[in-house]
């Protein structure tokens, strides 16, 4: 799967493939959101950090692939990058490019300054508290075992859960930093799109 994502960054993709990948990415994001909302315990969705990294890589690959096809085929019309990109463009811009730019800048600021930064801080603090509380939880398990309140198998199970929970929050801390880097890359890609589009349009197609 990683090789497929890397190939998306290198090889040019036709517009209909981009439509399928964008649709898959949106559906996957909604599915992950719903699973995370209805998860009762942390370890029920222990694969969340890995899925987060995968979806972030997929988003970066789609950014690169759509940038390439827009710069190469953008002069042919608004549908050069596929129907999904065209539909989102019409929905966001609404026929007025100035309004579209303002709304897009606001969304970028909200994504970077509020959501990404806040999520990173939450993951960092959560990992710190879980790691700090890990020795106390282990001691409580040992005390219950010595008092005969739980058996050896139950003690092993609880120790394993404590370790898995610490690993989860540590992975989330790392994944949040990866997502923050993705937000920065998204801003840079947006600037490159604008500058590159102007250069291609003025110098090559004029």
How do the domains of the chain map onto residue ranges? 2-204
Give 11-66 pLDDT, tens digit per residue.
Answer: 888 888 888 999 999 999 999 999 988 888 878 888 888 898 888 888 888 888 88
CA–chain centroid gap for 185, Å, is: 12
Residue with tokens 């036709």: 14
Q: Alpha-carbon distance 182 to 52, whole Å?
A: 11
C-beta contacts of 135-138 below 8 A and 24+ residues apart: 137/162, 138/162
> What is the per-residue pLDDT for 34?
92
Q: Which residue has the higher pLDDT, 196 or 95?
A: 196
């Amino acid at each position: 799967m990683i090789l497929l994502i890397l190939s998306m960054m290198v090889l040019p993709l036709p517009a209909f493939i981009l439509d399928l990948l964008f649709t898959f990415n949106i559906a996957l994001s909604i599915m992950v959101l719903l699973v995370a909302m209805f998860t009762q315990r942390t370890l029920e969705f222990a694969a969340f950090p890995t899925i987060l990294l995968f979806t972030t890589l997929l988003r970066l690959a789609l950014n690169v692939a759509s940038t390439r096809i827009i710069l190469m085929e953008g002069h042919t019309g608004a549908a050069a990058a596929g129907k999904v990109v065209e539909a989102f463009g019409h929905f966001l811009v609404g026929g007025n490019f100035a309004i579209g730019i303002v709304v897009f800048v606001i969304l970028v600021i909200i994504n970077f300054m509020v959501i990404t930064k806040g999520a990173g801080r939450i993951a960092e603090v959560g990992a710190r508290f879980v790691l700090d509380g890990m020795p106390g939880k282990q001691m409580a398990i040992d005390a219950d075992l010595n008092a005969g309140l739980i058996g050896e198998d139950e003690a092993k199970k609880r120790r394993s859960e404590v370790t898995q929970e610490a690993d989860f929050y540590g992975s989330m801390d790392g994944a949040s930093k990866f997502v923050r880097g993705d937000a920065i890359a998204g801003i840079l890609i947006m600037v490159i799109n604008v500058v590159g589009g102007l250069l291609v349009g003025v110098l090559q197609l004029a």
